[in-house]
A = this chain, B = another copy of it.
Amino acid sequence: MISFRNDYSEIAPPRILERLLECAREQNDGYGLDKYSAAAADSIRLLLGADADIHFIPGGTQTNLLAISACLRPFEAVIACDTGHINVHETGAIEGTGHKVITVHNVSGKITPEGIRKAVETHTDEHMVKPRMVYISNATELGTIYTRRELDPIRKVCDELGLLLFMDGARLGSALCSIYNDIDLSYLAKICDLFYIGGTKNGALFGEALVILNPALKADFRYMIKNRGAMLAKGFVTGIQFDELFKDKGHLFFTLAQYENMMALKIDRALTKKNYKFYAPYAYTNQLFPIVTAEKLAELQQNFAFNVEKALPDGTFAIRFVTSFATTPEMVNALIEAL
């Protein structure tokens, strides 16, 4: 059984584990105050070109709930599109911190300025929650990405309506390495109030780098992390990984993302050649959503593991293939063969 289920099925590139092994018995300061975390943050700041606060958090849902609950007062809400991870796949973690997720319809997994504006306009007074933040994911849950032409207007509407902008970058590596991509970390540093760079889905054992740009949101954030149980004692384990991923201008981080995108592209070409239709437009990231018949589905499931996203009304199925740093050309070829 070969798995295309997700990009977190394998531990990490050996290089990262070897790096940990080298430091196995070295003494470091705890709770993220070590030299590796500092160096990793410096490397990221270099790419940002901005004076950001950077915190390393074990997981994505945790990063989302931390970022959102740190910014909102009890009656304030976050706007997300209906397919947004915080709305669907976090078991109410955001609501668990006391905040409503206001949903707007997605367009290919993305939120639009019009959607944001409408959400604000329909929340008119103190009998309703007060929208205060916009949550977007890049790459999105449908594998699509945001471009400058989409993000500039989103930032503009946020400014106009007094909203904070937060980007969930669980798959930011893959997004930034898409051939459709026209943004970089320094651009995100300009338009986001805060965002995170996902490690878990791009080669780390675990860990996400939360980047706080807006100075008003920086104070006392380490208290927040501890209060939510997200401060690892051995923070240097995360620090070392991000140091390895981001030293040399993010060399390893981007190499891994490019590789997984390339593997996905191969699958995409095969699918297109064979005239498969897609549930979501392919955006050259590491996720693909082809539509298959029931027979093909059953056939594929004999040798491959992947998620079935949705049973479609016409009896076909939208499925998802995800590639990772550990996806080999052989696995891809086997899949293409089977398609």
Contacts and interface: CB of A to CB of B under 8 A. Distances in A.
Interface of A: 2-3, 5-6, 8-14, 17-18, 20-21, 23-31, 58-66, 69-70, 73-77, 88-93, 95-101, 126-130, 200-201, 205-206, 220, 222-234, 236-237, 240, 305, 326
Most B-side CB within 10 Å, residue of A31, A92, A230: A92
The dominant DSSP class at the A interface is: loop
Contacts of A75: 91-92, 96, 220, 223-224, 226-227
B6 A23 contact: no
A8 B224 contact: no
Nearest to A7: B233
A60 to B, nearest CB: 7
Contacts of A201: 233
Contacts of A11: 20, 23-26, 234, 236-237, 240
A27 B5 CA distance: 10
A244 B70 CA distance: 37
A15 to B, nearest CB: 9
Contacts of A326: 24-25, 27
Contact of A90 (B24, B226, B234): B226
